[in-house]
Structure 1
Amino acid sequence: MTSRTSRAILGALAIVSVGAASAPALAQDGNAESRLRKLEAEVRALQRTVFPGPNGRFFQPEITGAAPAQNTQQAPPSTTAVTDILARLDALEAQIQSLTSQTESNANALSELETRLSALEVTNTAPGGQASGSSAPQQNLSVMTGGASASAPPPPPPPAATPAASGPTPGRLAAVQAIAKPQTDDPGDDEYSYGFRLWEAGFYPEAQQQLALFVEKYPRHWRTTYGLNLLGRAYLDDDKPAEAAPWFLKNYQSDKQAARAPDSLLYLAEAMIAAKDTSRACIALAEFAETYPAIAAGRLSDQYEANRKKVTCN
């Protein structure tokens, strides 16, 4: 194998030598350039035959053409587009996990807050108390007599708070639930009628809550004057004259020509009598007789006379 390789190399060198020696003559020949190119092609073919590859089985050629300069320094591997996308997806997944954790924490906090608010609403709307969200009118009770303002002393303080009851009994709850709420095309009238039914059945705390809800939700309904008057009566019948008086006064002062304004003024006098506030009771009775003389002598005459007999007015 070595002898064959040597002969091939010698043959190639001989051909190269002949080409070099005849260069001056070829320069004068018009076909010299084409012959030289052909010779170079044959040399390259011979080299490919003798030296097929860098696998170690053959010697590398001693004569090689000018090879283009190669950059021996290996360039660092560049980041591909797929690698960039995967990295960005990993970052997005991490952000989504963080946001999900924060969302769950916020949801738990909101749930706890709603539970606490529900408990507060139940406490504020317990039987015997005023419905949550409704504000009682000012208790600065004053009525007009003879066109002049006559203000009585401040009302007596409300009775001391008693410990909260444990809640309505199952029997009471069942009885209240047995009272049907009307369902008509007038939702305001339905709310008032339901409060009236509760009051008529003697469920005064429940009636107070329902009627307070009605007057707050429907302040301009034609039933509002009835609702304010009945709300005061629900407190008065529940032996709470101090809580009843502001509602009577509000109904009277809001519109003296309203359907139940005369009734509220007369019940205001009755609430003051129950609170042992004779001065205010007399002022209310005098205002009632002066403002509504026909009603005092007609529809409400019996109640008016009964209240007059309970107090001694100057």
Structure 2
Amino acid sequence: MKNNSVIFLGAAAMAIAAAAPAADAQDTTVTKRVDRLEKEMRAVQRQVFPGGAPTFFEGEITPDNTPGERAKASTPVADLTARVDALESQLQTLTGQTEQNAYQLRELEKQFAAYKTEMDKRFAPATDTVSATPASLPIAPTTRPTTTPVSTTAAAAPTKKPATTPAKPTTPDAARLALVKKVEIPSSGNEQQDAYDYGFRLWTAKLYPEAQTQLKTVVTKWPKSNQASYAQNLLGRAYMDEGKPSLAAVAFYNNYKDRPSGPRAPHSLMYMGVALDKLGRKADACKAFREFDEVYGDKAPQDVRTDAAAAKAKAGC
């Protein structure tokens, strides 16, 4: 019995001694696989994130030619491990690409916001600067500008002063008001027509700021009427005559866009081309003239077609 125990213990010792090298070999294999996985992960990260071009990073993945590795790959556990490793690698790649795409999207949004802000500033309609003098305030269509009446007694008063007393110089505002007072306000009883006619008379008298104010009143009060088409077109011409082609182009465009069937829509489209030509925008001016031909053509009045042909030739279209 004692001899059998000795034999059993000896056999166990020999089995343990034989298993130790196998365990060491297995541990070495696992360590190598972990090292290899870490290298693969670093290589994938270099490819996914910015700066990961192969010209900047040397590859760390090399074929594993360790004997026995390919043979072990045929076991079910090894196959499952390989599939899990492949899934983890793909997940890391997708995660990196998602982060990179999100970063690029944020940068594009910033650039677009900056571009939109710049375009809004560049193409925002310029404000019409009109001095707040009595002559430039909105004028009612059927009433004359409010002025302080001068009595005959007050008018005769200067004759009682000594001849040596110098007369007060006429201020620019007073001179401007005097010019406005010379323009007769129509009173036919048709408020809409009278309002436009008064703006037309101010424009004819070359009182452009006052004419612009009056014409804007017509457009605001009767936006759907034929008079609005006439007034908006004449507003653009008043800006043009005052040397403001950019404001004129906006006024003409708004009339054509808002009232394409209005009686002055063809005129506004033609004059828009003229204003753009004055601004040095030849290509845009030619587009306006082409659109005039396509939209209105022979349907436009003869005088407008004649003016459009001359303006087109002058612009070199």
TM-score, structure 2 normalization: 0.46
Larger radius of gyration: 1
Higher-RCO chain (CA-CA 8 Å, sequence separation at least 6): 1
Higher helix content, 1 or 2: 2
User: Taking structure 1 as the reference length, what is the TM-score of the superposition?
Assistant: 0.46
